[in-house]
Chain A
Amino acid sequence: MTNDNFDLKKEIAILEEDCLRPTRTFGRSTQIWVGALLVVIGWGLYCFIHQLSHGLGVTAMRDYVSWGLYISTFVFFIGISHSGTLVSAILRITKQEWRRPITRSAELLTFVSLCFGGIQPIIDLGRPDRIANLVIFGRLQSPLIWDIISICTYFAGSTVFLFLPMIPDMALCRDRLTVVDSRFKRFKKWLYTFMAIGWTGTKSQWHRLEKTMNIMTIVIIPVAVSVHTVVSYIFAMTLRPGWDSTVFGPYFVAGALYSGSACVILGMAAFRKLYHLEKYITPRHFDLIGRVVLALTLIYAYLNLNEYWIPAYKMATAEGHLLSDLFYGSYSKVFWTCQFGTVLLPILIMSFPKGRKIGPLVVTCIIIAAGAWVKRYLIVVPTLLHPFMPIQEVPAAWSSYFPNYVEFSVTAACLAGIFLVITLFSKIFPMMAVWEVAEGIELDHDKKVAIEIREERVITDETELARIATLKNGQVTPTASLNETL
């Protein structure tokens, strides 16, 4: 309040307008984008129906490689879903103030990638029509049931986690619905009112929201860790060389965080550019989350070392055959490109401040995301091609695998589905948690901690100030330096 150049009310008003603007338009480019996504989804759907009627034989999978692109994609998508937990829960619990503008997009990414990751095993089922058997005859001893329980729990949790901080924003949308929103106005009115569940911003409501958020923040972290741990168990619980590994749980969790956090950066960059949020998502945010990705990539690299160096030192027979195929056999090019190009190179780039500038960081994160996907494939497929029993007396084609057009089309449709849901979501709901960012601006001003320094700061409206002051003024400690936390 000492800074008389700061107009908090104006700031908040600008923020609200910046956040709500994208929800009022559905421009030509958006229409083309959505149309293109729908084409990809339509074609994928056609291929999936083809697969349903003719069986999984229309894919490239056969008896030896009985899991392929679908299961690799399953692991990758579920991995991406760790992004929301990372950014929202871990950064929230460690009171990283800079998280505020990116929590919404991260939580959304979690929600969507869980939706589309979760359906991968169903797409991969030989008899999706018998899916009810999982409930009727479900056996708790099966790692697959652990997966289902864990992913469903995480899905429910992350849906709540996405929804809770949306409530005040929904009320805001409801109250600010203007004539500009002529398109679908009645639908939007109903939707916002419904989702605001009677939010009026009273003190007790804020109190309850905060309390619930605290509980959810703590609960969601172990659930997220359990998800990728049990995803790894569907491999690690077998005796196969390459999967029979005690490090698989943490290895998968680290891989999930590494790829998930990279995807958060991609989302940040996209929304910043497309929805003109440059004022809120700044180079500083990229620098900070770049450090997080760097730390996670280092952990992932360390686990990679454990996963490959220990068996490689011993070269036990069956494991040795697999490793020699990875190290200098048919998969060596892809394997080393993954290790050097998508793990060590990103570490090198992100270690330098220049590498954490928006441009290089986005390129690095694209490399990481693609690399993580290919790495999932390298975990699933080569192991299946190196069973204990030699591959004999089968058609020669069965002893190799590369996904065919059906698998690529269906997978592309799922990826397009992720983009579509994110796009539509961002056209209906604000992509930043308005109240959280507002709270940040307020704290920023009060505590004089640098979130982002704005030019004009003049306070005029006392009531608006009071409203924001009720948020949780004083309970949040000043931003800790990220270096300390890391």
Chain B
Amino acid sequence: MQEDNKKENKNDRRDFLKKGLLGGSVLAAGAIGLNRVFAGEKVKVVSPDGKVYEASADNLKEFHPKPVTNDEARKGIAGKKFVMVIDESKCDGCKKCTEACQAMHFTESDREWMKVFTMKDSDATAPYFFPKPCFHCDNPPCTKVCPVNATFKRQDGIVLIDNERCIGCRMCMAACPYSTRFFNWSHPDPKQTAAIGDAPYSPESSYPRRMGTVEKCDFCPDMLRQGKMPACVSSCPMDAIYFGDQNEDAVTNASGVTVKLGQLLEDNAGYRHMEELGTEPRVYYLPPKNRKYPIPDVKNAEKGKKSKKMPGMDNGAMQM
């Protein structure tokens, strides 16, 4: 195993040098955190052999570290139980989480793995924003029905999809009560394919995507392996999303504030969405009490609404 890694590193370096010399572009290690780099900016990057380069951010390309093996990706990270907490009282519906997620996973433009719903439970109750990733349920309806074990539950609580095995029957999409799963109906967008480049596939990165397979929010396990937060968490300007390890009873938000999970849920009456379905989500919500933003415009919710069906709030409202 150790030797394999060495060999791979060597290859990576050779690749790096070749590309660096030929293309005149500089590959930045993923560690730099491209999410924080803006176009036109000059950045310093360190090559694997220790030399420092200064390069325009435009020339930077995401460097893809060799992903873990498929077996490893199916097992998950030992000793962890990942959990997310979303504070509805802080979310102002800016959708930065959605954008960061789309950038991180090179998703197609019509696809929001992290979708911000505008909810209104009933006529008399106040509307609120409801960012919804995959819930990574502990009793996942989706993995149960998969005929080929292409979607699976890992020991760290994450539910992933292996798009090299998926046969595209869409049974999991029918089974998921939260409409969390997306299907690659057509060939991937060439622009996104170009951006992904020759990155090797891993269920942990969920790209390159393949036509005829299912995909969804993956809790960014490739970032977690590097000890970093999922894209949606670290990009939230309102610090509304916490992420952490249930075993450690600690969750952290974008500002780096770490709190006790149990305490957070207890103090704020944390709940899980549609608990009555028994899916045991790994995503908790804090109710929108004492909101830090103006009341959401419910008209947002009408965007994807059916034109001639269902009068009133029926489609805009959460159907509980």
| Bound form: Cα–Cα A324–B319 in Å | 13
Query: Which residues of B, 42-95, contact A by the 8 Å Cβ criterion?
Result: none
Q: Tell which of B112, B119, B168, B174 touches A125, judged by Cβ atoms closer than 8 Å.
A: B168
B132–A389 contact, CB under 8 A? yes
Q: Which residue of A lies closest to B116 (CB)?
A: A393
B270 CB → nearest A CB, Å: 20
B112–A239 contact, CB under 8 A? no
| Bound form: Cα–Cα A54–B212 in Å | 10
A138–B148 contact, CB under 8 A? yes
Query: Known: A66-B183, A318-B319. Contact between A142 and B213, CB under 8 A?
Result: no
In the bound complex, residues from chain B placing their C-beta under 8 Å from that of A388 are 177-179, 274, 277, 319
B179–A64 contact, CB under 8 A? yes
A321–B117 contact, CB under 8 A? no
A127–B319 contact, CB under 8 A? no
Whether B194 is near chain A, meaning CB under 8 Å from some CB there, is: no
Whether A62 is near chain B, meaning CB under 8 Å from some CB there, is: yes
Flag A390-429 by CB within 8 Å of B: 1 or 0 each: 1111111011100000000000000000000000000000
B314 CB → nearest A CB, Å: 6
| Bound form: Cα–Cα A385–B181 in Å | 15
In the bound complex, residues from chain A placing their C-beta under 8 Å from that of B110 are 394-395
Q: Tell which of A62, A143, A391 touches B171, judged by Cβ atoms closer than 8 Å.
A: A143
Whether B191 is near chain A, meaning CB under 8 Å from some CB there, is: no
B212–A55 contact, CB under 8 A? yes
Flag A352-390 by CB within 8 Å of B: 1 or 0 each: 000000000000000000000000000000001111111
| Bound form: Cα–Cα A138–B317 in Å | 39
Flag A101-133 by CB within 8 Å of B: 1 or 0 each: 000000000000000000001001111101101
| Bound form: Cα–Cα A398–B185 in Å | 13
B211–A392 contact, CB under 8 A? no
B320–A392 contact, CB under 8 A? no
Q: Tell which of A137, A321, A330, A396 touches B148, judged by Cβ atoms closer than 8 Å.
A: A137
Whether B173 is near chain A, meaning CB under 8 Å from some CB there, is: yes
B147–A56 contact, CB under 8 A? no
A392–B174 contact, CB under 8 A? no
Flag A58-76 by CB within 8 Å of B: 1 or 0 each: 1001111011000000000
Q: A126-B170, A126-B214 are in contact. List 19 more A-B contacts (CB 8 A).
A: A56-B183, A61-B185, A63-B182, A133-B148, A133-B150, A134-B148, A139-B146, A142-B146, A144-B145, A234-B145, A329-B309, A330-B306, A386-B319, A391-B315, A392-B115, A394-B110, A395-B304, A396-B307, A399-B304
A-B contact pairs, 20 of them (CB 8 A): A55-B187, A62-B185, A64-B179, A66-B170, A126-B184, A133-B148, A137-B149, A137-B165, A139-B146, A143-B171, A144-B169, A237-B144, A330-B308, A388-B179, A389-B318, A389-B319, A392-B301, A396-B306, A396-B307, A400-B306
Q: B residues engaging A (CB < 8 A)?
A: 110, 112, 115-119, 132, 141, 144-150, 165-171, 173-175, 177-179, 181-187, 210-214, 274, 277, 279, 300-301, 303-310, 314-320
